Amino acid sequence: MPDFQAILESIYQDAKQASDKGIVATYIPELAHIDKNNFAIHLRTSNGKCYGVGDFNKLFSIQSISKVLALSKAISLIGESVWDRIDVEPSGHPFNQLALLEINNGIPRNPFINSGAIVIADILVSNLENPKEDFLNYVRELSGDASINFNIDVAHSEQSTGFKNFAAANLLKSYKNLNNPVDKVLDFYFYQCSIEMSCSQLSSVFYLFANNGKCLQNKLHLTGSQVKRVNALMLTCGFYDEAGEFAFEVGLPGKSGVGGGIVALLPDHFVISTWSPGLNVKGNSKLGMLALEQFTTKTKLSIF
């Protein structure tokens, strides 16, 4: 077994000294003031051990990372019919790009670009009794951590500036790929994205994807084949137009968010979460990607 704590420490030392820490997302005003010197890594192994460096208990906005959890809830509610309304192909374009949605007649390329996640939000709004509350409870149940919550200021901040998401939802509506009213679906979507977690909570919540669908409390949420699909989508679509680069450099399924978080995993081995708020030009955490590249290189643990 590699000395995980020593490896994380050495990655942390390098990250602290990095001269270019990327740029914090400003298009959601509430995220613009986050200090880009925050840095954390947390590792949870399948044999129950945890390792961490930096601010791994500090909360941050998980943003698009929530799309994996929303997808997994939608799959557990309506199964394969999710794929009648969303494709499973990488987009090769930014997360908020709309051109492909028109070219593909209102069928989003995958569930992790914004238009795809908005269709998933529509599915959850249709199938959950109290969508926001039920979704939050699902996330809490996956980790056994009832302290996980929305950040209402972040949700409202995006509500007042998320013009492109309104455009996406309206486009979906025009193609009859949105059953509920635009405002209702986006209200849910903005709350979903506003969930805050620490790296250590993120590693717990995502444990089921490294553990054949069984969460930390040993409850089965997804079948083995459903987990295989979600992980395949994280590998091919988890980093927008940088999914190829992430597979190339890191070699793990994973998901990023504009809050600067990344979660990645090796089935049957571990979940690893990083947080560094500065983003690269593709909207993925700059130092988070570098840290994960170093981790899989130093430990020689990747799916390849």
Residues forming the site for ligand GLN (CB under 6 A): 63-64, 95-96, 114, 158, 165, 193, 257-258, 283
114 vs 236, which CB is nearer to ligand GLN? 114
Residue type, 247: A
Positive or negative torsion for Cα 112, 114, 119, 122: positive
Distances, alpha carbon 32 to alpha carbons 35, 39, 149, in Å = 9, 16, 20
**Tokens of residue 177, six digits:** 């790929």
Closest-approach residue to ligand GLN (CB): 64
Q: How far apart are CA 193 and CA 157, in angstroms?
A: 11
Q: Closest approach of Cβ 212 to ligand GLN, in Å? A: 27
Q: Closest approach of Cβ 24 to ligand GLN, in Å? A: 13
Q: How far apart are CA 191 and CA 158, in angstroms?
A: 9
Helix runs in the chain, H state only: 4-17, 66-78, 99-103, 114-127, 131-143, 152-161, 163-174, 182-193, 199-205, 207-210, 224-237, 243-249, 286-299
114 vs 203, which CB is nearer to ligand GLN? 114
39 vs 191, which CB is nearer to ligand GLN? 191
7 vs 237, which CB is nearer to ligand GLN? 237
Q: Closest approach of Cβ 256 to ligand GLN, in Å? A: 7
Give the three-state DSSP class for 304: coil
Q: Tell me the DSSP string of 222-243.
A: S-HHHHHHHHHHHHHHTTGGGH
165 vs 177, which CB is nearer to ligand GLN? 165
**Tokens of residue 185, six digits:** 């679906």
Q: Closest approach of Cβ 110 to ligand GLN, in Å? A: 13
Q: Which residues are known catalytic residues?
A: 64, 67, 189, 240, 258
Q: Closest approach of Cβ 115 to ligand GLN, in Å? A: 10
158 vs 293, which CB is nearer to ligand GLN? 158
Positive or negative torsion for Cα 153, 157, 160, 165: negative
Helix runs in 41-113, H state only: 66-78, 99-103
**Tokens of residue 168, six digits:** 């996406």
Q: Closest approach of Cβ 3 to ligand GLN, in Å? A: 33
Tell me if 107 sits within 8 A of 87, measured CB to CB. Answer: yes
Give the three-state DSSP class for 69: helix
